[in-house]
């Protein structure tokens, strides 16, 4: 991801209506790429989207 894409993703993640899936689709990257580059998702955002369970499990937090 470019620095601008990371900035955009972080800004969009502050809005509760924007899901990781929709942000990834908008930025034309995978959900796992979003998780990789935006580390605060696991700490500041709360629960991942229901559709993101596989990505969350891949990160080792079991979908929590």
Averages of pLDDT over each 10 residues, the chain, 64 residues: 94 92 96 91 53 48 44
Domain boundaries of the chain, sorted by first residue:
3-58
pLDDT of residue 3: 94
Q: What is the pLDDT of residue 42?
A: 67
Q: Which structure tokens are listed for 47?
A: 């629960």
Q: Do the beta carbons of residue 38 and residue 13 sit within 8 Å?
A: yes
pLDDT at 2: 94
Tokens for 48? 């991942």
Measure Cα distances from 41 to 34, 55 in Å: 9, 12
Q: What is the pLDDT of residue 25?
A: 97
Q: Can you give the pLDDT at residue 39?
A: 83
Give the span between the Cα atoms of 46 and 40, in whole angstroms: 9
Q: In this structure, what token pair is assigned to residue 16?
A: 């509760």
């Amino acid at each position: 991801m470019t620095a601008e894409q990371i900035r955009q993703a972080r800004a969009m993640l502050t809005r509760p209506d924007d899901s990781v899936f929709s942000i990834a689709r908008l930025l034309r990257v995978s959900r796992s790429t979003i998780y990789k580059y935006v580390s605060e998702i696991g700490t500041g955002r709360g629960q991942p989207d229901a559709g993101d369970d596989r990505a969350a499990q891949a990160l080792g937090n079991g979908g929590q």
